[in-house]
Every structure is written in structure tokens, then in C-alpha cells.
Structure 1
């Protein structure tokens, strides 16, 4: 419904006349945050990301890889101090959100976030150049994230930075990944990628609730024992450097299936659905804009 249509309807019922100009402006601002507007906010962010220099992407991705390690520390610390009860897993999952809050609110480059943000502008205007730009940002950010998580995993494996109690808690939550089959990692990765993409989709509308959105949805990844390739790689590198798993298990059994699942959940499914729900609206806006130009 256009602004003119809303105005005629509201005037007929005496709605808008009861509001001050400032209140009416606030109403319009909230009405404009329909799916098409949310899509456009994320698409423009994606365009900006696709244009960023490689070096900027690298350092931002490295910072994200290092920062996401605090999800493992937060969850491990709660695991170490909570009693062994049926509800411990639900409470300790809140600690898993810490790294995501640092990364998302700090505007660092996280690979699973990019699987939605950078894909939308490519779906809107597909071309050889846009697809190459997407592959460039995916490759740089993924490599930088994994280098950061490898350093963080090595720091945890050294045992120099945290008390023994916390080390034991971190190891306890990390070892569950070693029990996954490639199929487990893949299917859980799909839902994990979907939840991270959902965070990205909700943030433009969240306003003052950004903290709650990140807390609830990312803690759900841990609470449901789903998987996330970047935060999970901290745990994988920790186990690898302690000699509890080998390279074949670390990459072939856990990380690669996780990566595939996250990409499918965040891009092939969520991004396509997000684009699909606004595609017809965008097609209708093109002839309307052309008519106004004439």
C-alpha cells in the first residue's frame, strides 16, 4: 500500500488526525520496515562489502576469527561452574553468544554472516563480475576467520591463559564435535547457517533489541547442539593441537561438512527465500519508477 493509499484510508477513519507530525513520522518509519525495506538494507550492506579492499577484509576477518573464540570460553566457563543437571546445557549455551556479540556488534567479517549479506546483491544483479566478487570475499573472509580461530585454538591448547577449571570446561564442550559423523556435521550445519542468517535478517528491524536477537538466536545454536563452522573450528583446532583428533577428522569429518551445511543453510536456502519474497515487489517498482520518470 502506498503512502497516498494509507493517507486516504486513515483520514477516512480519523486516524492520522489524532497524531502529531512527529508521531506520524515515527509511524511511517516503522511501516517502511516491511520485508522489501529490510532486504534493501542488507543488500546495500552487501554491495559495500563486495567493494571492500582485500586487505580490509583480511584484517576484519582475522579479528572475527579471534573474537569468536570467546564463545567457546564463555560456554566452557559456564560448563565448568554449573552443576551437572539436565538444564546445564541450556544455561551454558548463553555463554556461546559472547563471541557472536563481539563480532556482529563490532562489525567484523564473519563467514557465515557473509553467506547472506554478500549473496543478496549478486542474486539481484547476477553477472560474471558479481559472482567473482562474491567468491573473492568468501575466500578471503573464510581464510582469515580460520587463521584467527587456529591462533585462538593454539592459545587455548597452551594452557597459559586460563585457569585449569576453565580449561577442563572448554575441553568438555569441545569434545562433542569429535563424536560427529560427516552427516551429523552437514545437517546440523544447515540449521546453524540458517540461524546466523536469521540474525542478519532481523537486525535492521531490531533497533534497541539487537542484543536480545543475537543472544537468543546464537545461544539456540548451542542449546540445540547445532554447528557453526567458524566457532566450531576453535574447538576443532584445540583438539587437533592437543593430539585428540587428527587432520583427517578435523577437516574431512568435521570442518568441511560443517562448511557445506552452513553455506547451504545461509545462502542456498535462506538467501534465496529472502530474495524470493521481495522479487515480485522489485519487478513492480521498475515500471512504476519508469512511469514517474516520464
Structure 2
């Protein structure tokens, strides 16, 4: 009679198999996530200026679809308080396109290139980070201005939808400087957290983007790129000035997004893994 243990693996082999199965199933550690994002940051810092500018321009144009998505949904919804909870999903459209399309979005860069800087704290790396920020932010804003101008000066969408664009856009000017800055801190925090979560999200990446940017929408939080479409749209309509754009929207939102992304995500998350990577 055949011994039932004849085909059984030896204990050492079984231990290796179990270890491999555990490694396959477990989530990436904080160190692994940090290294994935840091290497992406190193690659971004090495990209040429034209590549960064074109990618940033694409992202700015893509973010215009956040206003379009919200406006179209509102146009098909009844006038009710809950309508904003539904139309908020339209706001996520621009982020989904830009992030999944690997386009350069400024608020993502409050984390990705900052990790290489924290790892290699030299003037040369700092200058490369500032170069990347300057190119990407400028290109993002040019894209948003082009998109907003096309919405304001054409009739691609009917009058009812354009009226919703106008009403939605007023929220960027609805708060004083300090409040806008605080709202921007939360938005920058959420966007940088989104970048931190994506490496461990697998097939759920679109849902991570949708959920976190939806919170920005329904919370009326301030995002320097998506909000630039709204703020400049009102300028092109003649309902705001470029002084309003700079003083009431751009400056407080930029300050808040930078602080939320760099201080609350990049530095804190780097701090928890620094002893293991340095």
C-alpha cells in the first residue's frame, strides 16, 4: 500500500510556499509605497521642459471637464439640495482623465518630486523641484484659461448648461482669503493622499480618484487647477477681474494646496519611513 505522505512536500518547501503566498497577498509596506513614489519623482525631475509643459498643458485642459461634468449633471437634475451630491461626481471627471492619463497635475507634484528632495536635501535637487513646479503650474493654468475662454466665448453647450457653469463658478470667490486658504489645505491634503494611496490600490485606482476628488467637490474645497477654470470663466464673462482671480482665488488656493500636500502628506509620510530608507 502507498504511503500517503510520499507526495507531501518537506517542511522547508512548505514554509517557502507559505512565505511566497503571504508576500503575494499582503499590502505593500509604507517603505515600498515611499520608494515607488520617490522613483516616479526622480523620473519626473529628469524630464525635459517641453515634455513637462505639454503634459501640464494637457492636464490643465483635462481639468476643464470637471466644470463641464458638473454643469451637465445639474442641467438634468431637479432643483433640490441633494442635486449637488449627484452633480459632484461630474467634478471628478477632470481628475480621472488627468491622473489615469499620467498627465502632470501640479497638486500631485506636491508629493511626488518632494520625496526625492527629502531623501537628497541639496540645492541642486531643490532647484529641480522648483523648476518642475514652475513649468507644470504655468502649463496647467494656461490649459485652464484656454478651456475657460472656449466655454465663455462659444456656444458648444446650450444656454441652460452655461448658466450652471456660471453659478458653479461663483463658489471660488465665495469665501474670504483665510477660509479659501484653509479649504485649499484640505484639498491639497486629499490630493497628495490620493497619490500616496494609488500604488497600493491595484484595480481600485479609479475608485480612489473618484472618492477623494468627490469629497473635494461636495465640500467646496479649493483646488488651484480645477478652480482656475471656474475663476477665469467668470473673468471671461466679465463678472470678475484678473485682480479677483489673483487675490481672491489663486494666491490663497496655491498657499493652501502647497501646505496641505507638502507639509501634511510628503513630510509626515516621509518621516514615518525615513529611518528605514536612509
Task: Name the TM tier (shorter chain).
Answer: over 0.9
Q: Which residue of 198, 203, 208 maps to 1:208? A: 203
Residue in 2 aligned with 1:113? 108
Contact preservation (8 Å) 2:31, 2:276: yes
Q: Which residue of 186, 189, 211 maps to 1:194? A: 189
- Provide the TM-score with structure 1 as the length reference: 0.87
1:44 and 2:44 equivalent?
no
What are the Cα deviations for residues 113-164 of structure 1, in whole angstroms up to 9, with x where unaligned? Answer: 0111010110011101000000000000000000000000101111322122
Residue in 2 aligned with 1:96? 91
Q: Which residue of 232, 237, 258 maps to 1:237? A: 232
Contact preservation (8 Å) 1:159, 1:167: no
Distance 1:30 1:263 in 2: 35
Contact preservation (8 Å) 2:53, 2:135: yes
Q: How many residues in Structure 1 have an aligned counterpart in Structure 2?
A: 268
Contact preservation (8 Å) 1:192, 1:265: yes
Contact preservation (8 Å) 2:171, 2:220: no
1:182 and 2:177 equivalent?
yes
CA 30–126 in structure 1, closer or farther in 2 if over 3 Å, else same? farther
Q: Give the 5 Å matches for 1:1-294.
A: 17=14, 21=17, 25=20, 27-31=22-26, 33-283=28-278
CA 228–56 in structure 1, closer or farther in 2 if over 3 Å, else same? same
Give the secondary-structure state (helix, strand or coil) at the position aligned to 2:111.
helix
Shift of 1:25: 3.7
Shift of 1:105: 0.4
Shift of 1:26: 5.0
Residue in 2 aligned with 1:10? none
Distance 2:21 2:70 in 1: 39
What are the Cα deviations for residues 161-196 of structure 1, in whole angstroms up to 9, with x where unaligned? Answer: 212221111111111112221112111000000010
Give the secondary-structure state (helix, strand or coil) at the position aligned to 1:117.
coil
Contact preservation (8 Å) 2:27, 2:200: no
Contact preservation (8 Å) 2:178, 2:252: yes
What are the Cα deviations for residues 174-233 of structure 1, in whole angstroms up to 9, with x where unaligned? Answer: 111122211121110000000100110010000010111001000110111111000000
Higher fraction of helix: 1
What are the Cα deviations for residues 228-278 of structure 1, in whole angstroms up to 9, with x where unaligned? Answer: 000000001100011101111111111111011000000122110110110
Distance 1:123 1:148 in 2: 30
CA 83–31 in structure 1, closer or farther in 2 if over 3 Å, else same? same
Deviates more, 1:27-36 or 1:104-113: 27-36
Contact preservation (8 Å) 1:193, 1:228: yes
CA 164–38 in structure 1, closer or farther in 2 if over 3 Å, else same? same
